[in-house]
Amino acid sequence: MSGHRTSAAGARRRILIVGDHPLVCRGLTALINAEHDMLVCAVGRTFQQGLEASAGALPDLVIVDLSFREDDGLAVVRAICAIQDAPPVLVLTMHDASLDARRAFAAGASGCVAKQEKTETLLAAIRAVLRGETYGAPGR
């Protein structure tokens, strides 16, 4: 049995961030770590680091920033979702949220949030996906 989604009651849920923009990753880390019920367990700055951390850090959720300079964010989502017993993936986008949401869900993501949203919206999306729900699906 994998360590994914097996956090003990009361334990902080483990979040992996995959993205290559240092300011975005640091901001997300600070936001998430300030919450009582979750923490960032790892940050992957490349496609390969994201895959390795997804398998090795045993996150309960992976947040993938689609805006990679050299890697394809959707390829990262597809690769993580293809891992046996993969954690759910929440996508962050700064482009056309409805188009990116359709692509993200087709790639296997469980949620999609535009970077322009309020921090409360992102935290609500994280918690929804951790509960096994989808967030930001097109047509909802």
Domains and CATH numbers, the chain: 13-130 (3.40.50.2300)
Sign of CA dihedral 58, 66, 102, 82: negative
pLDDT in tens, the chain (140 residues): 344 444 565 689 999 999 999 999 999 999 999 999 999 999 999 989 999 998 889 999 999 998 877 778 899 999 999 988 899 999 999 877 788 889 999 999 999 999 999 999 999 999 999 999 999 987 65
Q: How many CA atoms lie within 13 A of 54 on its CB side?
A: 27
CA pair distance 77, 74, nearest whole angstrom: 5
pTM of the model: 0.90
The pLDDT of residue 111 is 96
Task: Tell me the residue ranges of DSSP E strands in 23-102.
Answer: 38-44, 61-65, 89-93
pLDDT tens for 85-94 read 899 999 999 8
94: nearest Cα among 115, 109, 123: 115
- Report in angstroms the alpha-carbon separations of 119 from 46, 75, 114, 115, 124: 24, 26, 11, 9, 9
51: nearest Cα among 87, 21, 91: 87
